[in-house]
Structures are given as structure tokens and as C-alpha cells.
Amino acid sequence: MSFSYFLSQFYNNLAGILEEKKLLESLKSENFDVGICELFDFTGIPVFEAIGLKNIVGAHTTSCLMEGTAYAIGAPVIPSYMPASQGVTDDSPSLVNRFINILFTFTSWYFQTSIARAAEIAMVEKLGDSATPIWDTVSNMSWILTNTEPLLEFAKPTLHKVIDIGGIGVAKPKPLDEKWHKILSLREHTILISFGSVAASIYMPYEMKVAIVDVVKSYPDVTFIWKYEEPGDSFAAGVENLFLSKWTPQVDLLADDRLTLFITHGGAGSMMESATGGKPLIVVPLFGDQTRNAKLIAKFGFGIMLHKSSLLDRSALRDAIGRALKDERYRKAAHRIRDLLARRPFTPEQNISGSSRVRRQAMRDPNLKWKDAKVNYFFGNAPENLKANFKKAAAAWAKSTCLNIVEDKNAEDKIQVMRGPSCLSAVGRQGKTQGIWIADNCMTVGSIEHELGHALGLIHTHERHDRDTYIDIIKDNIQQQYRSEFGKETSERTNSYEIPYEYGSIMHYNAYGFAIDKTKPVIVPKQDEKYTRTLGGRILSFLDLLTVNKHYDCLGKCGNSIQCANEGFQNPKNCSECVCPTGYGGPTCDKRPPGCGKTVRVSTNARKIDLFVGELKEGQDYKACNYWFEAPAGKKVEVKLLNLKNWANMHGCTLAGVEIKAQADQRHTGYRFCSPEDKGVTLVSSGKRLPVIIYNTGTAFEVTIEYKAV
């Protein structure tokens, strides 16, 4: 069958599906939250487009990303050392290997993109020109699932949206019934033979079957079990140590210590089942990614690769079996892989639930709330500074909410906190064990508070359903692999609790994050561009705390009630005091917060003041000094930034800065500035009082302000 014929049949089949109106209406009526599409045949994407399903997860049944997918999501494809998805080489850097791998890389890419093109033609013809292009859909997917186990893979790039789920289909082994128990007990060694279900053994050339039987006869002290679709075939008649079976309990057999060796085609499922059971393999790859899998098995030392022509060469197969039975290195390597898999910190199921965010997992779903507002955690491979800063982050969320965030490894639902290659958390409670990964570049209290905010149920602020009123997203300047981080939620799936949009939320990205051109922003505040440096701050905002309190029904839990000034709210953790907007303090939010800073009386004569904060607490919580500039009755305060000295200027002013609360709604975070470029900015208060907060964590900071009453 030619490839062009395959493409024409694929097109006809897909076009036929898209004409099945009753089928599509039936699917649409189910109101699916998520659609999962294999990214080799692409049939799912046009179907999901037809029924209006936008939340799509990509998947590869192969053990790695295919080349077209990698390109679409911005993953590097480097043929010089990354074996092609359908390739026949390993990762050894010989010139011949590199040349062959380049050919297979582009061949794999050609096949995949040709199928995608056929799918897109059918989709546009049946659904119209407004249909989203195939590769645009792929590039915007939140997840790409791959049938990969990182412990059994060549070196590859790590991307936040690529989730490895290799082994997710490996069932828990069950005790064997009497039939199989007897077969395994017949001889010291038992070997299982299976070439999968696609290339069934019944279709194997007769000469090849006879050759295999001859090899079986040469090992009379070994029992062979062959998964064969027609057990009554005569070619194996009378061979006492060979059992043909139409079906075998493969996982259960591979988990049994009496099974010694597995002869197989090297499909991803068979490889994982054998690795999980700790069994050496002889791999005879037939097509697809099976040669690549065989190379992996040989690389990790728990198997031998044979070309399929070796099945006709009795001596080659006989010698391979002999080596696998006698050489202890294969058995020891298989046991080592088995033990590593058993000790991995997360199962494939937990990788899905704990390491990524599905957009339906937002705050409206009650199942995502932590039961009784109790959040449990324990530490995995966490260094001491991560442990200390996580506890500070947990305390910051807990002290002004009704949440109880406790270290409890034995709880049913819990968070495992660990060092990782990136900064990740699921949104809300996932059930059982979920992860928070903290990379070295986000091991600060503020960054941990952000990830913990996700675990409590908060989405990114810039993904709110109403975000278009407050910000512009410059999609063309977003790195392709991160575009899914800038999606937009719906009011049906999320709840803003009538809390206004907060530029200073700890859940907001900074203006330049993931930009292609670092000199141009990705997020632009619509209402006032002076909020640009406020975006991406890593200080818990008052409205962040209010959101979590409303989400967990904390407000109103106090038996008594107190009046809070300046729109503060009663603290459910300490009912005798209020939680106050930044810049306000005291039990009822009517005073300047305690500590450094002062109240400055303002007149119509312009004056200057130098504000300085210099205590370095790198990576820890912030030090802040609070100033109140107060004008006479009937006047407002005007301030002008004359000079800013900051030796670590960063987007979001995360290391140090000055916050000026000139906005009318004092619940909001004020305007933040931290760069010498902000010199000359002038602001006028909304009333007679202007709170100004100078803060730092990782660098000293100094600002000179000119002030007067107007």
C-alpha cells in the first residue's frame, strides 16, 4: 500500500465522520470537559472542532514526542544526538548514526505533517474556513502526554507541558490461576514469547515459525509459552516444552519470579511491562518505534536486540537465548530497573494529576477544595532552604485565612514538596499524593506562595474570564511552548467571587515573562500602564487573601464581629483583629502598620525625602517600611520619583521596590516601581492620605521622593 493511498483513505474516513451529524450531535450533548487526541492520525482534532470542544490534550502512544509535535510546541529537535521517534539508531555520536538519524528525523516529520495536512483539508472542507488550523491547536494544548518512562529514555529536553505517562497501562499483577501455575512449575526456566496484537504471530512466515520451534526443541529443559492466535496449528505439534495460547496473562506472568525471559517485538507496552516485572528481554523489532525501544533496552543492559531476519537463523536466536539465560548481567540490570521503577516518587497517574494544570480544574469545582480547609504536606527531596521557605509560605497563607496547613505525611490527601527542574503545582486538591515542584530559580518565599496558591485552588490572574477588560495579551510575542499559560478561563468554570481584577496578585505573571523579544511586553495593563512593574510581584496581596477566604467560606466563622476600617475584613484565624490592605495596620486597619516608616505631614511647599531599606533577607520574606503622607483637609498628596537606586532591577519588582497607593480602591496593590527608568513618575493620591511602602528581600533599595499638597 502506497503512502498516498493511505492518505486518501484517511481523508475519506475522516470526511465521512465529519458528515455524521447525529454522531456529532450526540458527542456534543455529552458536554465533555476534555478531549484527548493521538497526534499521529489527528482524527480527534477535527471532531473536537466540530462539537466545539476547545480543551484538548495531545497524546503520543510512542515513547517520545514525534517531530511535528515537538516543532509545534517549541521543543528542540536535534538529530545529532536525539534519536528520531521512528528511528533505528541509539544516541551514540558516530557520524553514520548521526546521518541515519537525520534521515529518519525528517522522514518521521514528513509522515506526521502529511497526515495532519490531510486532516486539515477534510476539516476545512466540512467545517469551513473558520476552523482552527491543526498545528495552532497543537501548539496551544496544555498537555502533551507521551508513553515515556524517564528512567528508560534517551536524553531529551524537559518541557512543562509534556507529561510522561509511560507505564500508565501496566496493570497491577494478579495471582496466576492453576493452569499457569502448573506450567511455570514444570522446569527451572520459563520463557514467554509474544509479538503483540498488531503483527499477530499467526501471520508470521511458516519457515520462521518452524525455525522458532526448532530452537525451542534445542532447549528441552526450558518451558516456552508462545502467545499464538491459533493454538491448534500443526507446526508445533508434539513439542513437549512449548505451550501455545491464544491469550496470556502477560503482566501476571512477567511479575512471577519463575518466568526467566521475554522474547517480544519491543512495543512500548511490552517494554514497560517487562521492566516493571524485572525481566530481561530478547527484542525483535518489527516496525514503528520498536527499533528505538530495542536500542533503549540494549542501552540499559537488560536485553538483547535481534533483527527479525534472525528468527530464520536458528543459531542466532539460540545463541541469544543462551546468553540471556547464562549471563547474570541481564538479570541484574532488569532487577535494577524494576527496583528504580518501584521507588519512583510518582506514578504516571500522579504525574497527570499532580504536575500540570487542566483548565477545567479551576475554583468552581468543589472537589478541588481541601476537605475541612486542612491542607497536608510532606517533603520529598527538598533541601533545607526549601523546607524553611515552604513553611514560611504556608504560614503566610494560613495566618490570615481559616486554612490549616500542616506537615502530615500520613494524611490521605497531601502535597509532596520537592526540588524539581521547574516550578509546578496542580490547581486545587487532586486526591492522594500530589506534587509541588520548586526549581532553584524559584526557591523564594514569594514564588513558593505562588505555587501553593495553585494547590489551594487559584488559577493565574491573567487567565481570568474578564481579563480582556484589564490587560492585553500580545500573543505573537509569547514563546510558542508557553502560549498555553496565557489561556482564558470561563465564568462557568471559575469563580472570581466578585473580587476585582488585581494587577498585584501573587498569581499574576510579570509583563515580560516568556517573551520572544525581551524588550517588548507580553502583558500590557489596559487601564493604566504605570501598573506594568506591579505585574508579577511575589508578595501576597490583600485581594489574594480575600479570594481564598471566600473560596473556603472562611468569612463569617467568627462568633463575634468587629468593624474593620479601610475595607479590611475580620481575620477568621484571630477574630479579635482584621486583615488589612497593604499600607494599613492595627487591630481594625485604622493605623499605620507597626515597624519602620513614619507619618509625613504634607504642605503645599514641595519637599524631598530619602527612603531606604537595606536589610538583606535573600530568598526569604520581605522587609517593608510603611509611610503615610498626609495632606491638610481638602487637599491631596502629589509625589514625584526623583531617584531610584536598585542594583537588581527585575520585572515585577520582586527583589525590592516602592509601592505607592494612589488608586481609589485601597484594597488593590498600589503602583510599584524599582528601576532608574521610573525617575520622573508623578502620582496624585485619591484622598488626603497616601500610603507608600518601601520593601526589599534580596537587595538594598533607596528612593528619593518629592512631595507636596495639591
Strands 374-379 and 414-419 turn out to be parallel
Q: Are 308 and 284 in contact (CB under 8 A)?
A: yes
d(CA 343, CA 346): 9
499 class by beta-carbon count within 10 Å (0-12 exposed, 13-18 middle, 19+ buried) = middle
For 592, the grid coordinates are: 499605620
Q: Are 552 and 676 in contact (CB under 8 A)?
A: no
Is residue 30 annotated as a catalytic residue, yes or no? Answer: no
d(CA 17, CA 83): 35
Q: Please report how many Cα atoms fall inside a 13 Å half-sphere around the Cα of residue 228, on the Cβ side.
A: 20
The residue among 248, 256, 420 whose CA lies nearest residue 338 is 256
For 23, the grid coordinates are: 454522531
Q: Are 469 and 524 in contact (CB under 8 A)?
A: no
For 91, the grid coordinates are: 544516541
Catalytic residue among 153, 451, 489, 577: 451
Q: What residue has cell string 477588560?
A: 469
For 710, the grid coordinates are: 495639591
335 is in an annotated binding site: no
d(CA 274, CA 507): 43
Helix, strand, or coil (residue 244): strand
307 is in an annotated binding site: no
Residue 244 phi, psi dihedral angles, 5° rounding: -90, 135
Q: Please report how many Cα atoms fall inside a 13 Å half-sphere around the Cα of residue 680, on the Cβ side.
A: 1
Q: Please report how many Cα atoms fall inside a 13 Å half-sphere around the Cα of residue 94, on the Cβ side.
A: 6
Strands 162-164 and 189-194 turn out to be unpaired
For 50, the grid coordinates are: 466540530
d(CA 197, CA 313): 24
Strands 682-684 and 637-646 turn out to be antiparallel
Strands 162-164 and 523-525 turn out to be unpaired
How many CB atoms within 10 Å of residue 46? 25
450 is in an annotated binding site: yes
Active site amino acids: 451
- Binding annotation for Zn(2+): 450, 454, 460
